[in-house]
């Protein structure tokens, strides 16, 4: 079964501290993995995708197939990073169906 | 960039009535759109895949006669909640897949807040 697990509902850190939002997945093939972000009162938007290996707003995520993880990291959190973060996978590129994790609220305190 | 709109942004209706929610891709054509439901502080649950010119594909447990989906054009999909009840109150979000982007990226609408009294 396809599943995405984000074990933390809330992660609270101080400004300037490192951040790691955990994501584990369950999928038998080779999934495409994504991180989406939803700022307060805004729509969901793509943050980054594993296939492009990019860094957006200082965030990076590395796909670890051995551990079936795709953790999101940032070395120095900023207050404007406070938002809801969703890890998601697409199991079959033909359908494009996104399977979302439960989401983690990141709270960056001043 | 690619923009997806939803209308209305919020709707309040009486129990037993039907409500239609529109999802439009404003500057690109979308053969595939998706409808999600989001409960407060919870994840997005995929309800169905809307395919232009053909029947929608529903996820397990989603009643197709309850949630009617029509994808009549390449820029518009509608979700009709029929005979709505209080338990249908939720935040409904659509997304549209832009095949013109490098990774067939999905773009999300702002969501529609449905409250059934």
Residue B8 in this model has a pLDDT that exceeds 90: yes
pLDDT tens for B31-60 read 899 999 998 778 899 999 998 888 899 999
Strand residue runs (E) in A1-110:
3-5, 10-14, 19-21, 24-26, 32-38, 45-49, 60-61, 72-74, 83-90, 98-100, 104-109
Output phi, psi for B66, to 5 deg.
-85, -40
pLDDT of residue B4: 95
Three-state secondary structure call for residue B55: coil
Which residues of chain A does B102 touch, with a Cβ-Cβ cutoff of 8 Å?
52
Q: Which of A43, A52, A98 sits opposite B111 (nearest CB)?
A: A43
pLDDT of residue A71: 97
Which residues of chain B does A105 touch, with a Cβ-Cβ cutoff of 8 Å?
41
pLDDT tens for A7-22 read 999 999 999 999 999 9
Mean predicted confidence (pLDDT) in B97-102? 78
Query: What is chain A's mean pLDDT, rounded?
Result: 91
Is B95 within 8 Å of B102 (Cβ atoms)? no
Higher pLDDT, B31 or B85: B85
Q: Which of B32, B43, B57 sits opposite A100 (nearest CB)?
A: B43
Determine the distance in angstroms separating the CA of B44 from the nearest CA of chain A, rounded to an integer: 6
pLDDT band for position A94 (cuts 50, 70, 90): low
What's the per-residue H, E or C state across A66-78? CCCECCEEECCCC
- Asked if B108 is an interface residue toward chain A (Cβ–Cβ < 8 A), one would say yes
pLDDT tens for A46-84 read 999 887 777 889 999 989 989 999 999 999 999 999 999
pLDDT of residue A46: 92
Which residues of chain A does B58 touch, with a Cβ-Cβ cutoff of 8 Å?
none
Which residues of chain B does A31 touch, with a Cβ-Cβ cutoff of 8 Å?
none
pLDDT tens for B22-34 read 999 998 988 899 9
> How many C-beta atoms lie closer than 10 Å to residue B16's C-beta?
10
Q: C-alpha angle with apex B103: B4 to A32, nearest 5 degrees?
A: 110
Distance CA B47, CA B34 (A): 8
Residues 6+ apart with CB under 8 A from B51: B31, B32, B57, B71
CB atoms B104 and A49 under 8 Å: no
Q: Report the sign of the C-alpha dihedral through residues A39, A45, A47, A50, in that order.
A: positive
Q: Which of B42, B105, B109 sits opposite A102 (nearest CB)?
A: B42
- Asked if B97 is an interface residue toward chain A (Cβ–Cβ < 8 A), one would say yes
Mean predicted confidence (pLDDT) in B76-86? 96
């Amino acid at each position: 079964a396809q599943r995405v697990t984000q074990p933390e509902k809330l992660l609270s850190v101080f400004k300037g501290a490192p951040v790691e939002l955990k994501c584990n997945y369950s999928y038998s093939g080779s999934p495409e993995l994504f991180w989406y972000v939803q700022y307060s009162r805004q729509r969901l938007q793509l943050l980054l995708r594993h296939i492009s290996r990019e860094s957006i707003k200082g965030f990076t995520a590395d796909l670890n197939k051995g551990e079936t993880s795709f953790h999101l990291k940032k070395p120095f959190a900023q207050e404007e990073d406070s938002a809801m973060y969703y890890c998601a996978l697409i199991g079959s590129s033909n359908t494009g169906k996104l399977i979302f994790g439960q989401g983690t609220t990141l709270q960056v305190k001043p | 960039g690619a923009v997806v709109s939803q209308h209305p942004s919020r709707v309040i209706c009486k129990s037993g009535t039907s409500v239609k929610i529109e999802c439009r891709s404003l500057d690109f054509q979308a053969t595939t759109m998706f409808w999600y439901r989001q409960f407060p502080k919870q994840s997005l649950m995929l309800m169905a895949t809307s395919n232009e010119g053909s029947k929608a594909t529903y996820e397990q447990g989603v009643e197709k006669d309850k949630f009617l989906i029509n994808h009549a054009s390449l820029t518009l999909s509608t979700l009709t909640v029929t005979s709505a009840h209080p338990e249908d109150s939720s935040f409904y979000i659509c997304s549209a897949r832009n095949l013109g982007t490098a990774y067939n990226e999905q773009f999300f609408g702002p969501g529609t807040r449905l409250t059934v009294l």
